[in-house]
Structure 1
Protein backbone atom coordinates (compact mmCIF):
# COMPACT_ATOMS: atom_id res chain seq x y z
CA UNK A 1 0.00 0.00 0.00
CA UNK A 2 1.05 3.59 -0.52
CA UNK A 3 1.94 5.03 2.87
CA UNK A 4 2.36 8.51 1.44
CA UNK A 5 -1.41 8.73 0.99
CA UNK A 6 -2.29 7.00 4.26
CA UNK A 7 -3.56 8.40 7.53
CA UNK A 8 -1.99 6.47 10.40
CA UNK A 9 -2.76 6.21 14.09
CA UNK A 10 0.14 5.06 16.28
CA UNK A 11 -0.74 4.23 19.87
CA UNK A 12 1.83 4.86 22.59
CA UNK A 13 3.58 7.35 20.30
CA UNK A 14 5.10 9.63 22.91
CA UNK A 15 8.37 7.69 23.26
CA UNK A 16 10.38 4.62 22.29
CA UNK A 17 9.23 2.57 19.33
CA UNK A 18 5.94 4.47 19.05
CA UNK A 19 7.74 7.76 18.52
CA UNK A 20 10.12 6.11 16.03
CA UNK A 21 7.16 4.67 14.10
CA UNK A 22 5.47 8.06 13.95
CA UNK A 23 8.69 9.68 12.71
CA UNK A 24 9.27 7.01 10.05
CA UNK A 25 5.74 7.30 8.71
CA UNK A 26 5.95 11.09 8.63
CA UNK A 27 9.14 10.77 6.59
CA UNK A 28 7.22 8.59 4.13
CA UNK A 29 4.57 11.25 3.66
CA UNK A 30 1.79 9.82 5.82
CA UNK A 31 -0.55 11.87 7.96
CA UNK A 32 0.10 10.66 11.52
CA UNK A 33 -2.04 10.76 14.65
CA UNK A 34 0.19 10.21 17.69
CA UNK A 35 -1.84 8.61 20.46
CA UNK A 36 -0.76 8.97 24.08
CA UNK A 37 -2.45 9.04 27.46
CA UNK A 38 -1.01 12.53 27.83
CA UNK A 39 -0.82 14.12 24.37
CA UNK A 40 1.26 16.97 25.81
CA UNK A 41 4.13 14.46 26.01
CA UNK A 42 4.17 14.06 22.23
CA UNK A 43 7.08 16.20 21.04
CA UNK A 44 7.42 15.17 17.40
CA UNK A 45 6.78 18.06 15.00
CA UNK A 46 4.34 17.28 12.22
CA UNK A 47 2.18 14.70 13.98
CA UNK A 48 -1.33 15.25 15.30
CA UNK A 49 -1.27 14.45 19.05
CA UNK A 50 -4.42 12.79 20.33
CA UNK A 51 -5.43 11.66 23.82
CA UNK A 52 -5.72 7.88 23.91
CA UNK A 53 -5.63 5.47 26.85
CA UNK A 54 -6.20 2.07 25.29
CA UNK A 55 -7.40 0.59 28.61
CA UNK A 56 -10.21 3.16 28.85
CA UNK A 57 -13.11 2.42 26.47
CA UNK A 58 -14.37 6.02 26.72
CA UNK A 59 -10.94 7.33 25.69
CA UNK A 60 -10.79 4.93 22.75
CA UNK A 61 -14.27 5.93 21.59
CA UNK A 62 -13.39 9.63 21.86
CA UNK A 63 -10.23 9.13 19.81
CA UNK A 64 -12.17 7.33 17.09
CA UNK A 65 -14.73 10.15 17.01
CA UNK A 66 -11.97 12.78 16.85
CA UNK A 67 -10.29 11.22 13.80
CA UNK A 68 -12.56 9.64 11.18
CA UNK A 69 -10.01 9.20 8.40
CA UNK A 70 -7.57 6.58 9.72
CA UNK A 71 -6.53 3.95 7.15
CA UNK A 72 -3.59 2.40 9.03
CA UNK A 73 -3.68 1.50 12.74
CA UNK A 74 -0.52 0.57 14.62
CA UNK A 75 -1.19 -0.94 18.04
CA UNK A 76 2.09 -0.18 19.76
CA UNK A 77 1.04 0.89 23.28
CA UNK A 78 2.17 -1.59 25.90
CA UNK A 79 3.66 -2.14 29.35
CA UNK A 80 5.83 -4.63 31.20
CA UNK A 81 5.30 -5.02 34.92
CA UNK A 82 8.02 -7.66 35.30
CA UNK A 83 5.54 -9.98 36.96
CA UNK A 84 6.00 -13.67 37.78
CA UNK A 85 2.67 -15.47 37.32
CA UNK A 86 2.95 -17.29 40.65
CA UNK A 87 4.84 -14.90 42.93
CA UNK A 88 2.45 -11.96 43.35
CA UNK A 89 -1.25 -11.15 43.38
CA UNK A 90 -3.16 -10.98 40.12
CA UNK A 91 -3.43 -7.20 39.74
CA UNK A 92 -0.34 -6.86 37.55
CA UNK A 93 -1.30 -9.94 35.55
CA UNK A 94 -4.69 -8.40 34.84
CA UNK A 95 -3.07 -5.07 33.95
CA UNK A 96 -0.84 -6.73 31.37
CA UNK A 97 -3.80 -8.55 29.82
CA UNK A 98 -6.00 -5.45 29.94
CA UNK A 99 -3.33 -3.53 28.06
CA UNK A 100 -1.97 -5.92 25.45
CA UNK A 101 -5.07 -8.03 24.77
CA UNK A 102 -8.22 -6.16 25.76
CA UNK A 103 -6.71 -2.74 25.01
CA UNK A 104 -5.62 -3.78 21.53
CA UNK A 105 -9.00 -5.39 20.88
CA UNK A 106 -10.82 -2.26 22.04
CA UNK A 107 -8.84 -0.06 19.66
CA UNK A 108 -9.38 -2.44 16.73
CA UNK A 109 -13.13 -2.66 17.38
CA UNK A 110 -13.36 1.15 17.36
CA UNK A 111 -11.15 1.85 14.36
CA UNK A 112 -11.78 -1.09 11.99
CA UNK A 113 -15.11 0.39 10.81
CA UNK A 114 -13.32 3.65 10.09
CA UNK A 115 -10.63 1.87 8.06
CA UNK A 116 -13.24 -0.11 6.13
CA UNK A 117 -15.23 3.05 5.39
CA UNK A 118 -12.09 4.62 3.93
CA UNK A 119 -11.72 1.81 1.41
CA UNK A 120 -9.63 -0.57 3.51
CA UNK A 121 -6.12 -0.42 4.81
CA UNK A 122 -3.94 -2.11 7.41
CA UNK A 123 -3.55 -2.89 11.09
CA UNK A 124 -0.17 -3.70 12.63
CA UNK A 125 0.07 -5.14 16.13
CA UNK A 126 3.47 -4.78 17.78
CA UNK A 127 4.14 -8.16 19.35
CA UNK A 128 7.37 -9.74 20.63
CA UNK A 129 9.56 -12.80 20.45
CA UNK A 130 7.92 -13.45 23.82
CA UNK A 131 4.66 -14.03 21.98
CA UNK A 132 6.22 -17.41 21.23
CA UNK A 133 8.51 -18.05 24.21
CA UNK A 134 8.02 -17.53 27.95
CA UNK A 135 10.42 -16.48 30.69
CA UNK A 136 8.84 -17.24 34.08
CA UNK A 137 10.16 -14.00 35.58
CA UNK A 138 8.04 -11.98 33.14
CA UNK A 139 5.33 -14.56 32.71
CA UNK A 140 2.50 -12.00 32.77
CA UNK A 141 4.00 -10.09 29.84
CA UNK A 142 4.62 -13.30 27.87
CA UNK A 143 1.07 -14.53 28.42
CA UNK A 144 -0.41 -11.19 27.38
CA UNK A 145 1.74 -11.01 24.25
CA UNK A 146 0.84 -14.59 23.36
CA UNK A 147 -2.83 -13.68 23.69
CA UNK A 148 -2.24 -10.63 21.51
CA UNK A 149 -0.63 -12.87 18.87
CA UNK A 150 -3.70 -15.14 18.90
CA UNK A 151 -5.88 -12.05 18.62
CA UNK A 152 -3.83 -10.93 15.61
CA UNK A 153 -4.35 -14.28 13.87
CA UNK A 154 -8.11 -14.17 14.43
CA UNK A 155 -8.42 -10.57 13.27
CA UNK A 156 -6.43 -11.08 10.08
CA UNK A 157 -8.91 -13.75 8.98
CA UNK A 158 -12.02 -11.94 10.16
CA UNK A 159 -11.11 -8.53 8.70
CA UNK A 160 -9.75 -9.71 5.35
CA UNK A 161 -13.14 -9.45 3.68
CA UNK A 162 -13.36 -5.82 4.82
CA UNK A 163 -10.20 -4.94 2.93
CA UNK A 164 -8.11 -4.70 6.12
CA UNK A 165 -4.77 -6.50 6.16
CA UNK A 166 -3.70 -7.39 9.71
CA UNK A 167 -0.04 -7.96 10.49
CA UNK A 168 2.04 -8.73 13.55
CA UNK A 169 5.58 -7.58 14.27
CA UNK A 170 7.89 -9.71 16.41
CA UNK A 171 11.04 -8.28 17.95
CA UNK A 172 13.42 -9.27 20.74
CA UNK A 173 15.38 -6.66 22.64
CA UNK A 174 14.98 -3.02 21.61
CA UNK A 175 16.91 -0.05 22.92
CA UNK A 176 13.94 1.42 24.80
CA UNK A 177 13.00 2.07 28.42
CA UNK A 178 11.28 -1.31 28.62
CA UNK A 179 14.59 -3.14 28.02
CA UNK A 180 16.83 -0.78 29.95
CA UNK A 181 18.02 -3.56 32.26
CA UNK A 182 18.83 -6.04 29.51
CA UNK A 183 22.48 -6.60 28.60
CA UNK A 184 21.89 -8.47 25.34
CA UNK A 185 22.34 -6.69 21.99
CA UNK A 186 19.42 -4.40 21.26
CA UNK A 187 17.88 -3.24 18.00
CA UNK A 188 17.46 0.51 17.52
CA UNK A 189 13.80 1.59 17.49
CA UNK A 190 14.39 3.50 14.24
CA UNK A 191 15.49 0.26 12.53
CA UNK A 192 12.40 -1.58 13.80
CA UNK A 193 10.20 1.29 12.62
CA UNK A 194 11.74 1.19 9.15
CA UNK A 195 11.16 -2.56 8.85
CA UNK A 196 7.62 -2.15 10.16
CA UNK A 197 6.82 0.49 7.55
CA UNK A 198 8.37 -1.67 4.81
CA UNK A 199 6.21 -4.60 5.93
CA UNK A 200 3.01 -2.57 5.90
CA UNK A 201 3.80 -1.18 2.45
CA UNK A 202 4.56 -4.66 1.10
CA UNK A 203 1.53 -6.32 2.71
CA UNK A 204 3.54 -8.74 4.84
CA UNK A 205 1.47 -10.66 7.40
CA UNK A 206 4.27 -11.38 9.88
CA UNK A 207 7.22 -9.03 10.27
CA UNK A 208 10.09 -10.74 12.08
CA UNK A 209 12.80 -8.16 12.56
CA UNK A 210 15.72 -9.72 14.42
CA UNK A 211 17.69 -12.94 14.89
CA UNK A 212 16.20 -13.64 18.32
CA UNK A 213 12.66 -13.64 16.92
CA UNK A 214 13.66 -15.71 13.90
CA UNK A 215 15.33 -18.32 16.12
CA UNK A 216 12.34 -18.58 18.43
CA UNK A 217 9.95 -18.81 15.48
CA UNK A 218 12.00 -21.65 14.00
CA UNK A 219 12.06 -23.40 17.36
CA UNK A 220 8.27 -23.60 17.55
CA UNK A 221 8.25 -26.48 15.06
CA UNK A 222 10.74 -28.46 17.16
CA UNK A 223 8.43 -28.80 20.14
CA UNK A 224 8.42 -27.99 23.83
CA UNK A 225 11.66 -29.70 24.82
CA UNK A 226 13.56 -27.89 22.08
CA UNK A 227 12.35 -24.50 23.29
CA UNK A 228 12.77 -25.38 26.97
CA UNK A 229 15.72 -27.83 27.20
CA UNK A 230 15.88 -27.32 30.98
CA UNK A 231 12.74 -29.43 31.40
CA UNK A 232 13.32 -32.95 32.77
Structure 2
Protein backbone atom coordinates (compact mmCIF):
# COMPACT_ATOMS: atom_id res chain seq x y z
CA UNK A 1 0.00 0.00 0.00
CA UNK A 2 1.50 3.35 -1.05
CA UNK A 3 1.58 6.42 1.17
CA UNK A 4 -1.47 8.06 -0.44
CA UNK A 5 -3.67 5.02 0.13
CA UNK A 6 -2.34 4.67 3.64
CA UNK A 7 -3.28 8.25 4.53
CA UNK A 8 -6.76 7.74 3.06
CA UNK A 9 -7.21 4.60 5.16
CA UNK A 10 -6.12 6.44 8.30
CA UNK A 11 -8.66 9.19 7.57
CA UNK A 12 -11.44 6.65 7.10
CA UNK A 13 -10.46 4.90 10.31
CA UNK A 14 -10.63 8.14 12.32
CA UNK A 15 -14.03 8.99 10.83
CA UNK A 16 -15.50 5.55 11.59
CA UNK A 17 -13.99 5.64 15.08
CA UNK A 18 -15.79 8.92 15.82
CA UNK A 19 -19.04 7.50 14.47
CA UNK A 20 -18.63 4.40 16.66
CA UNK A 21 -18.24 6.58 19.75
CA UNK A 22 -21.31 8.67 18.87
CA UNK A 23 -23.43 5.59 18.11
CA UNK A 24 -22.28 3.90 21.34
CA UNK A 25 -23.24 6.98 23.37
CA UNK A 26 -26.69 7.09 21.76
CA UNK A 27 -27.10 3.37 22.43
CA UNK A 28 -26.20 3.90 26.09
CA UNK A 29 -28.70 6.78 26.26
CA UNK A 30 -31.46 4.58 24.83
CA UNK A 31 -30.58 1.85 27.33
CA UNK A 32 -30.75 4.35 30.19
CA UNK A 33 -34.11 5.64 28.90
CA UNK A 34 -35.39 2.07 28.73
CA UNK A 35 -34.44 1.45 32.36
CA UNK A 36 -35.87 4.76 33.59
CA UNK A 37 -39.15 4.24 31.73
CA UNK A 38 -39.39 0.72 33.07
CA UNK A 39 -38.89 1.82 36.67
CA UNK A 40 -40.92 5.04 36.68
CA UNK A 41 -43.78 4.16 34.29
CA UNK A 42 -44.13 0.45 33.59
CA UNK A 43 -43.39 -0.92 37.05
CA UNK A 44 -46.05 1.13 38.95
CA UNK A 45 -48.67 0.42 36.28
CA UNK A 46 -48.02 -3.31 36.19
CA UNK A 47 -47.60 -3.89 39.92
CA UNK A 48 -50.66 -1.83 40.94
CA UNK A 49 -52.76 -2.74 37.89
CA UNK A 50 -53.81 0.91 37.84
CA UNK A 51 -55.17 0.72 34.29
CA UNK A 52 -58.05 -1.38 35.65
CA UNK A 53 -59.04 1.19 38.31
CA UNK A 54 -62.59 2.53 37.98
CA UNK A 55 -63.64 6.16 38.30
CA UNK A 56 -65.92 7.22 41.15
CA UNK A 57 -66.51 10.07 43.63
CA UNK A 58 -64.63 10.03 46.93
CA UNK A 59 -65.36 11.78 50.20
CA UNK A 60 -62.59 12.33 52.72
CA UNK A 61 -63.41 10.75 56.06
CA UNK A 62 -60.16 11.49 57.86
CA UNK A 63 -56.76 13.06 57.24
CA UNK A 64 -53.99 13.11 59.83
CA UNK A 65 -50.22 13.16 60.27
CA UNK A 66 -49.04 9.71 61.26
CA UNK A 67 -46.82 8.62 64.11
CA UNK A 68 -43.48 7.66 62.57
CA UNK A 69 -41.72 4.71 64.17
CA UNK A 70 -37.98 4.27 64.02
CA UNK A 71 -36.05 1.40 65.64
CA UNK A 72 -39.24 0.33 67.44
CA UNK A 73 -39.47 3.62 69.35
CA UNK A 74 -42.07 6.33 68.79
CA UNK A 75 -40.21 9.38 67.58
CA UNK A 76 -43.14 11.76 67.65
CA UNK A 77 -46.40 12.78 66.08
CA UNK A 78 -45.99 13.85 62.49
CA UNK A 79 -42.30 13.05 62.37
CA UNK A 80 -40.93 13.78 58.91
CA UNK A 81 -39.98 11.00 56.50
CA UNK A 82 -36.53 11.28 54.92
CA UNK A 83 -36.24 11.39 51.13
CA UNK A 84 -33.62 12.04 48.47
CA UNK A 85 -34.06 15.26 46.48
CA UNK A 86 -31.19 14.76 44.04
CA UNK A 87 -27.46 14.25 44.02
CA UNK A 88 -25.98 15.00 47.45
CA UNK A 89 -29.37 16.28 48.58
CA UNK A 90 -31.44 14.97 51.48
CA UNK A 91 -34.80 16.33 52.58
CA UNK A 92 -37.95 15.23 54.40
CA UNK A 93 -41.74 15.62 54.38
CA UNK A 94 -44.56 15.00 56.87
CA UNK A 95 -46.43 11.75 56.31
CA UNK A 96 -50.13 12.50 55.81
CA UNK A 97 -52.51 9.54 55.80
CA UNK A 98 -55.97 10.02 54.35
CA UNK A 99 -58.97 7.69 54.31
CA UNK A 100 -61.98 8.09 52.02
CA UNK A 101 -65.38 6.58 51.34
CA UNK A 102 -66.85 6.01 47.87
CA UNK A 103 -69.62 4.21 46.01
CA UNK A 104 -68.53 1.17 44.06
CA UNK A 105 -69.83 -0.05 40.74
CA UNK A 106 -72.36 -2.28 42.49
CA UNK A 107 -73.75 0.67 44.45
CA UNK A 108 -72.21 -0.35 47.76
CA UNK A 109 -70.22 2.07 49.88
CA UNK A 110 -66.56 1.24 50.49
CA UNK A 111 -63.73 2.81 52.43
CA UNK A 112 -60.09 2.91 51.43
CA UNK A 113 -56.74 4.66 51.79
CA UNK A 114 -56.08 7.47 49.33
CA UNK A 115 -52.82 7.89 47.35
CA UNK A 116 -52.23 10.75 44.94
CA UNK A 117 -50.78 8.58 42.11
CA UNK A 118 -50.04 4.95 41.30
CA UNK A 119 -46.38 5.60 42.12
CA UNK A 120 -47.27 6.43 45.72
CA UNK A 121 -49.56 3.40 45.93
CA UNK A 122 -46.83 1.14 44.55
CA UNK A 123 -44.26 2.45 47.03
CA UNK A 124 -46.26 2.74 50.27
CA UNK A 125 -49.51 0.87 49.68
CA UNK A 126 -48.19 -2.37 51.16
CA UNK A 127 -46.55 -0.72 54.18
CA UNK A 128 -47.95 -0.15 57.63
CA UNK A 129 -50.50 2.55 58.36
CA UNK A 130 -47.86 4.89 59.77
CA UNK A 131 -46.09 5.06 56.38
CA UNK A 132 -49.07 5.09 54.01
CA UNK A 133 -48.39 8.67 52.94
CA UNK A 134 -50.93 10.10 50.51
CA UNK A 135 -48.35 12.40 48.93
CA UNK A 136 -44.56 12.74 49.15
CA UNK A 137 -43.20 16.15 48.11
CA UNK A 138 -39.42 16.11 48.24
CA UNK A 139 -38.17 19.62 47.60
CA UNK A 140 -34.79 20.73 48.89
CA UNK A 141 -36.57 22.91 51.44
CA UNK A 142 -38.24 20.95 54.22
CA UNK A 143 -40.46 23.92 54.97
CA UNK A 144 -41.79 23.92 51.40
CA UNK A 145 -42.55 20.21 51.70
CA UNK A 146 -44.51 20.80 54.90
CA UNK A 147 -46.48 23.63 53.31
CA UNK A 148 -47.36 21.43 50.34
CA UNK A 149 -48.60 18.63 52.58
CA UNK A 150 -50.68 21.09 54.62
CA UNK A 151 -52.11 22.53 51.41
CA UNK A 152 -53.08 19.04 50.25
CA UNK A 153 -54.84 18.45 53.56
CA UNK A 154 -56.74 21.74 53.28
CA UNK A 155 -57.85 20.97 49.70
CA UNK A 156 -59.01 17.45 50.55
CA UNK A 157 -60.18 18.06 54.10
CA UNK A 158 -62.72 15.84 55.85
CA UNK A 159 -66.11 16.09 54.12
CA UNK A 160 -64.67 17.25 50.76
CA UNK A 161 -65.77 15.31 47.64
CA UNK A 162 -63.75 14.88 44.43
CA UNK A 163 -63.16 12.48 41.56
CA UNK A 164 -61.02 9.46 42.31
CA UNK A 165 -60.20 5.92 41.12
CA UNK A 166 -60.60 2.68 43.03
CA UNK A 167 -59.33 -0.84 42.53
CA UNK A 168 -62.18 -3.32 41.95
CA UNK A 169 -59.93 -6.19 43.05
CA UNK A 170 -58.86 -4.44 46.27
CA UNK A 171 -61.41 -1.84 47.37
CA UNK A 172 -59.01 -0.36 49.97
CA UNK A 173 -56.73 1.01 47.22
CA UNK A 174 -57.84 4.44 45.96
CA UNK A 175 -56.05 6.87 43.67
CA UNK A 176 -56.62 10.59 43.38
CA UNK A 177 -55.52 10.48 39.74
CA UNK A 178 -53.86 8.12 37.31
CA UNK A 179 -50.43 9.47 36.41
CA UNK A 180 -49.83 7.28 33.34
CA UNK A 181 -52.15 5.76 30.76
CA UNK A 182 -51.66 2.70 28.56
CA UNK A 183 -50.34 4.85 25.71
CA UNK A 184 -47.63 6.32 27.95
CA UNK A 185 -46.40 2.85 28.85
CA UNK A 186 -46.53 1.62 25.24
CA UNK A 187 -44.72 4.57 23.65
CA UNK A 188 -42.10 4.88 26.39
CA UNK A 189 -41.06 1.27 25.95
CA UNK A 190 -41.48 1.14 22.17
CA UNK A 191 -39.29 4.07 21.21
CA UNK A 192 -36.58 3.47 23.80
CA UNK A 193 -36.36 -0.22 22.81
CA UNK A 194 -36.40 0.58 19.09
CA UNK A 195 -33.68 3.20 19.51
CA UNK A 196 -31.54 0.80 21.51
CA UNK A 197 -31.82 -1.98 18.92
CA UNK A 198 -31.16 0.30 15.93
CA UNK A 199 -28.17 2.13 17.39
CA UNK A 200 -26.71 -1.05 18.84
CA UNK A 201 -26.76 -2.52 15.32
CA UNK A 202 -25.19 0.65 13.89
CA UNK A 203 -22.47 0.53 16.54
CA UNK A 204 -21.60 -3.07 15.69
CA UNK A 205 -21.55 -2.32 11.94
CA UNK A 206 -19.25 0.70 12.35
CA UNK A 207 -16.96 -1.27 14.66
CA UNK A 208 -16.63 -3.99 12.01
CA UNK A 209 -15.83 -1.34 9.39
CA UNK A 210 -13.08 0.02 11.63
CA UNK A 211 -11.66 -3.46 12.03
CA UNK A 212 -11.73 -4.04 8.26
CA UNK A 213 -9.94 -0.75 7.59
CA UNK A 214 -7.32 -1.54 10.23
CA UNK A 215 -6.70 -4.97 8.73
CA UNK A 216 -6.39 -3.54 5.20
CA UNK A 217 -3.96 -0.85 6.29
CA UNK A 218 -1.34 -3.21 7.73
CA UNK A 219 2.09 -2.30 6.27
CA UNK A 220 3.49 -4.80 3.76
CA UNK A 221 7.17 -5.56 2.93
CA UNK A 222 9.16 -2.47 2.06
CA UNK A 223 11.07 -2.66 -1.24
CA UNK A 224 13.58 -0.13 -2.56
CA UNK A 225 12.39 2.08 -5.41
CA UNK A 226 13.05 0.69 -8.91
CA UNK A 227 16.10 1.74 -10.87
CA UNK A 228 15.56 4.34 -13.58
CA UNK A 229 14.63 2.71 -16.85
CA UNK A 230 13.72 -0.63 -15.32
CA UNK A 231 10.14 -1.96 -15.41
CA UNK A 232 10.68 -4.46 -12.67
CA UNK A 233 9.41 -2.82 -9.43
CA UNK A 234 11.40 -5.29 -7.36
CA UNK A 235 15.04 -5.22 -8.59
CA UNK A 236 17.17 -8.24 -8.06
CA UNK A 237 19.72 -7.98 -5.29
CA UNK A 238 23.12 -6.63 -6.24
CA UNK A 239 25.84 -9.20 -6.93
CA UNK A 240 29.50 -8.85 -6.15
CA UNK A 241 31.78 -8.23 -9.17
CA UNK A 242 34.22 -11.09 -9.96
CA UNK A 243 37.86 -10.43 -9.08
CA UNK A 244 39.92 -8.68 -11.75
CA UNK A 245 41.87 -11.08 -13.97
CA UNK A 246 44.67 -10.40 -16.47
CA UNK A 247 43.38 -11.51 -19.89
CA UNK A 248 46.90 -12.60 -20.88
CA UNK A 249 47.44 -14.69 -17.81
CA UNK A 250 45.85 -18.08 -17.81
CA UNK A 251 46.26 -21.21 -15.87
CA UNK A 252 48.02 -22.68 -18.88
CA UNK A 253 50.86 -20.18 -19.17
CA UNK A 254 53.26 -18.10 -17.15
CA UNK A 255 55.15 -15.11 -18.33
CA UNK A 256 58.94 -14.89 -18.05
CA UNK A 257 61.59 -12.71 -19.51
CA UNK A 258 62.32 -15.43 -22.05
CA UNK A 259 58.70 -15.62 -23.27
CA UNK A 260 55.71 -17.73 -22.49
CA UNK A 261 56.02 -21.08 -20.88
CA UNK A 262 53.13 -23.49 -20.98
CA UNK A 263 52.47 -25.51 -17.91
TM category (shorter chain) comes to under 0.3
Q: Select the structure of larger CA radius of gyration.
A: 2
Q: Which has the higher contact order (CA 8 A, sep 6+)?
A: 2
| Higher helix content, 1 or 2 | 1
Bigger fraction of residues in strand: 2
TM-score, scaled relative to structure 2: 0.19
TM-score by length of 1: 0.20
